Amino acid sequence: MSSDRPVNRRGFFREGLRELLKPLSQAVEPIEAFSRQFSELEKVNAKKVPLKILLRPPGALPEQKFLDACSRCGECVKVCPAQCIKIDATGGLGAGRPYIDAEAMPCVVCDGLVCMPACPTGALVPTLLNGIDMGLAVWNEKACLRTQGEQCTICVDQCPLGATAIDLHERKIRVIESGCIGCGVCQHYCPTEPRSIVVVNAERGMRNAE
């Protein structure tokens, strides 16, 4: 009579099935991990990160003419006292021509607006202050701290053109289209994230994904 213990057939087949399916399990694990990462990426993209809007320096010609006339010499960059004018040598931002990112540093509307007369090619045309059109500030009431009951007036207080361009009207921020030159100071100092007031320029359409 054999002294061996009885074979547990159910356990035997269970072990065999586990060994048989092990390669399949190992193949599925990376797929599941990728699926989880992809789901997280979708969540990030669903936030719809706003596009960065770039501005041209004051006195810039209409966009296509500006692109044609600008030699990328950088003279406007050199003389800008606020150092807000930049040139991306790679061409990735502003098509390689001078631009202003109000988030980083806005045009402060310096005395003499020195970038315009410094331009040797006429891409920037000397223009009177009230004739400058870099863009137009647009206020988002829903995002503004005032809508939440706070008495924030930073955009109004910081504007270099004052009540000519922006003021309070019936306790709301009012951008005066005929007076706003689109310098971006209001956007730069706005404390909300994303900004509740931003400068847009539909004619130029210079938008770059962040």
Nearest to 98 by CA among 67, 135, 65: 67
Q: What are phi and psi of 98, to 5 degrees?
A: -55, 135
Which regions of 42-108 does DSSP assign to beta strands (E)?
A: 52-53, 85-86, 99-100
What does the block give as tokens for 207? 């938008």
Q: How would DSSP label each residue in 92-118?
A: SSGGGS-EE-TTT------TT-THHHH
Domain ranges for the chain, please list them: 53-204
The neighbour count for residue 1, using CB atoms within 10 Å, is 3
Per-residue pLDDT of the chain (210 residues; tens, 9 = 90+): 444 555 555 565 566 656 666 665 555 555 454 445 444 444 433 333 345 689 999 999 999 999 999 999 999 999 999 999 999 989 889 999 999 999 999 999 999 999 999 999 999 999 999 999 999 999 999 999 999 999 999 999 999 999 999 999 999 999 999 999 999 999 999 999 999 999 998 564 444 433
Find residue 138's DSSP bridge partners.
198
CA distance to 13, 85, 136, per residue, from 104 (Å) = 67, 10, 18
Burial classification of residue 143, based on how many CB atoms lie within 10 Å of its CB (0-12 exposed, 13-18 middle, 19 or more buried): middle
Provide the greatest CA pair distance for the chain.
Answer: 113
